[in-house]
Amino acid sequence: MRIEYMEVNGIKYPINIFIEDRKNISARIGRKIGTIRAPLFLNRDELSREILKMKVWIRQKLIEIPIMLESKAAKTYTNGDILKIGSDKYLLDISFKDKQSSSARIAGKIIYLVISSSIPDDIKNHHISSLLSRCVARKRIEGLKSRINGLNQKYFNQKVDKIFLKTTSQTGEAAPTMEILMSLQGFFLRRRMC
């Protein structure tokens, strides 16, 4: 996989390009990123030509449907920002350190983020956003668990072994082992709808 950027109407739009074992080439436009999937069997010239066609298609669609680019404007986080989540307000304390990984924790009404200085500038905000989501979800998971258990007792009365958040899915699921995997995206969508 490689990431390339396309500038459309002054906005830098990222595109993931996957070369994989498949029979055809496809392109998809998402809110945050575009995706091109191309087959392995194409020679270098054919592959370049097909990927270029897909890039032209993506550019054309982004120009035709400008709302796809409007939702692209990313939130930027800086040290000292106030983050409002539901009725709670948190102060962001962001520091950058020369280390391999990043971390986040909540203490009182302050969210402490320690970000690896080796992360490229173009993905720092996305990285910070992801850390914030996980950190806040960890804090609120107990309330979510009690609500799920309450609904389970009221309607299903089934044994539930574990309830935890999944960060790679847009939907939740129930595992065969009686575990409930709740989507992190679904969790925050639910919070916005209430």
pLDDT tens digits, 128-158: 888 888 888 888 788 888 888 888 888 888 8
> Same domain, yes or no, for 64 and 90?
no
Which of 70, 92, 123 terminates a domain? The answer is 70
Phi-psi map region of 9: left, alpha, beta (phi>0 left; psi -120 to 50 alpha): left
C-alpha angle 155-160-165 in degrees, rounded to nearest 5: 105
Number of domains composing the chain: 2
> Same domain, yes or no, for 103 and 170?
yes
Q: Which domain holds residue 141?
A: 82-193
Query: Which one has a higher pLDDT value, 19 or 73?
Result: 19
Its pTM stands at 0.52
Residue 171 CB contacts under 8 Å (≥ 6 apart), including other chains = 183, 186
Which of 70, 94, 116 terminates a domain? The answer is 70
> Same domain, yes or no, for 55 and 103?
no
Which of 70, 105, 127 terminates a domain? The answer is 70
Confidence at 44, pLDDT banded by 50, 70, 90: very high
**Does residue 75 fall inside a structural domain?**
no
The tokens describing 114, both together, are 């320690």
> Same domain, yes or no, for 62 and 6?
yes
Query: What pLDDT, on the 0 to 100 scale, is given for residue 169?
Result: 52
pLDDT at 177 over 70: no
> Same domain, yes or no, for 66 and 87?
no
Highest mean pLDDT among 5-14, 41-50, 142-151, 158-167: 41-50
DSSP annotation of 24: S
Query: What pLDDT, on the 0 to 100 scale, is given for residue 1?
Result: 79
Query: What pLDDT, on the 0 to 100 scale, is given for residue 186?
Result: 55
3-state helix, strand, coil in the chain (%, to 5): 35, 35, 30
> Same domain, yes or no, for 66 and 109?
no
Query: What pLDDT, on the 0 to 100 scale, is given for residue 168?
Result: 56
Give the range among 1-15, 98-112, 164-178 with minimum mean pLDDT. 164-178
> Same domain, yes or no, for 28 and 52?
yes
Confidence at 127, pLDDT banded by 50, 70, 90: confident
Confidence at 174, pLDDT banded by 50, 70, 90: low
Helices 121-151 & 184-193, crossing angle to 10 degrees? 70
Strands (E), the chain: 2-8, 11-20, 26-29, 34-39, 82-85, 88-97, 103-107, 110-116, 162-166, 173-174, 179-183
> Same domain, yes or no, for 178 and 113?
yes
> Same domain, yes or no, for 112 and 186?
yes
Query: What pLDDT, on the 0 to 100 scale, is given for residue 99?
Result: 87
**Position 4: which residue type?**
E
Contact predicate 158/178, CB 8 Å: yes
